[in-house]
């Protein structure tokens, strides 16, 4: 089959419990959310491998971000641009992904890869993993390669390592398979949450941060005071295990308390930020039963749990009035899928 155009999308994620500890083999609870990255691959009209990136962040609607155009350059091992309007180099993971798929493919043709994302980057919502997964799925289908879900996830993990240094693999796994999972040491078990009737509000602090920096910060802290930081990670791990039962029971109040405890431990771990603490406190004042930062910390997003939709909605409006981007997120969304 000569695929003329292939389109796949993959979701972003939030970590409900256990970030950072998950890097050290403790469990985390992670869910796919309804913000997605879409990748369309069509035939390049220039006999060159082309890459176009645009964004349509739900948070920033209406968005009019510049569409960025690149061409694959094999000598320089990167995608390059002729356009001086944007100097930021393109994420090197795209080169890795494209080179890998072209190498594996037997049919030779030049793809034009178009990526459009709703997920704001650098905010702990798994935007790089969603881009990697959507691109791998769409490009491999275009090149008529049949990758299994496991192969796709494994390649996305390699791409994540290029960007994040020492990731746990949680972002690419959740983006590939979707749903809500307990994730531990590259193994995940799907959670069923029939009794869960609470609402999760995501608030973007607007402070960009880098996952790699904060993962490395924890590595350094552990080297400096192993027993202190090891204890914190272990406590986070214990909270996650209790949270798994509370999720199953649909015990919103307990989950809220655990979230707040998890946040305090992340503060002790040194990965919070005064604005994140302020935002978690504000969410509690606005009726959340518990709140924490989500992702690597240092900026990015906080989440708050609500037992009532109206309260959650009011909190979202109030956060928007204060100038923050906020929304109620659905959980356990679908993983990578054809569009």
Residues at the site binding ligand MEV, with contacts judged by CB under 6 A: 15, 19-20, 22-23, 124, 164, 167-168, 170-171, 211, 215, 295-296
Q: How far is the CB of 126 from ligand MEV (least distance, A)?
A: 6
Q: How far is the CB of 42 from ligand MEV (least distance, A)?
A: 31
CA distances to 64, 108, 141 from 2, rounded to whole Å, are: 33, 11, 10
Residue 166 and residue 215 in contact, taking contact as beta carbons nearer than 8 Å: yes
Residue among 63, 62, 66, 64 nearest 52 (CA): 66
Supply angle C-alpha 125, 131, 132, rounded to 5. 115
Q: Indicate the residue among 46 and 230 with the shorter CB distance to ligand MEV.
A: 230
Q: Indicate the residue among 156 and 215 with the shorter CB distance to ligand MEV.
A: 215
Residue 294 and residue 191 in contact, taking contact as beta carbons nearer than 8 Å: no
Q: Indicate the residue among 59 and 79 with the shorter CB distance to ligand MEV.
A: 59
The yes-or-no answer on residue 171 being catalytic is: yes
Q: What is the DSSP string of 17-82?
A: E-TTGGGGT--EEEEEEEEEEEEEEEE-TTSS-EEEEEE--GGGPSP-PPPEEEEEETTTTEEE-S
Q: How far is the CB of 269 from ligand MEV (least distance, A)?
A: 10
Residue 280 and residue 263 in contact, taking contact as beta carbons nearer than 8 Å: yes
Q: How far is the CB of 244 from ligand MEV (least distance, A)?
A: 17
Q: Indicate the residue among 124 and 290 with the shorter CB distance to ligand MEV.
A: 124
Tokens of 252: 């919103």
Which of these is catalytic: 2, 83, 171, 225?
A: 171
Supply the residues annotated as catalytic.
Answer: 171
């Amino acid at each position: 089959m000569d695929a003329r155009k292939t389109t796949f999308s993959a979701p972003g994620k939030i970590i409900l419990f256990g970030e950072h500890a998950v890097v050290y083999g403790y469990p985390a609870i992670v869910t796919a959310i309804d913000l997605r990255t879409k990748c369309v691959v069509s035939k390049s009209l220039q006999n060159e491998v082309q890459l176009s990136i645009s964004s349509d962040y739900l948070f920033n609607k209406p968005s009019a971000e510049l569409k960025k155009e690149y061409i694959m350059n094999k000598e320089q091992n990167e995608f390059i641009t002729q356009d001086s309007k944007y100097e930021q180099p393109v994420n090197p993971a795209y080169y890795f992904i494209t080179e890998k798929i072209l190498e594996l493919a037997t049919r030779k043709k030049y793809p034009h890869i178009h990526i459009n994302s709703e997920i704001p980057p650098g905010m702990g919502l798994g935007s790089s993993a969603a881009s990697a997964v959507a691109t791998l799925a769409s490009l491999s289908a275009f090149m008529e390669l049949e990758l299994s879900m496991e192969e796709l996830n494994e390649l996305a993990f390699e791409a994540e390592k290029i960007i994040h240094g020492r990731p746990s693999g949680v972002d690419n796994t959740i983006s590939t398979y979707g749903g809500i999972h307990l994730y531990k040491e590259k193994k995940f078990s799907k959670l069923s949450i029939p009794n869960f009737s609470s609402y999760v509000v995501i608030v973007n602090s607007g402070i960009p941060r880098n996952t790699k920096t904060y993962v490395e910060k924890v590595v350094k802290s552990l080297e400096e005071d192993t027993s202190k930081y090891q204890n914190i990670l272990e406590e986070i791990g214990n909270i996650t295990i209790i949270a798994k039962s509370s999720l199953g029971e649909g015990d919103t109040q307990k989950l809220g308390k655990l979230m707040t405890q998890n946040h305090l431990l992340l503060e002790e771990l040194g990965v919070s930020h005064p604005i994140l603490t302020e935002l978690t406190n504000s969410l509690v004042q606005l009726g959340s039963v518990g709140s924490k930062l989500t992702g690597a910390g240092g900026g990015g997003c906080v989440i708050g749990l609500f037992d009532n939709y109206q309260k959650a909605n009011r909190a979202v409006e109030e956060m928007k009035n204060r100038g923050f981007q906020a929304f109620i997120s659905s959980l356990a969304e679908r993983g990578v899928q054809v569009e």
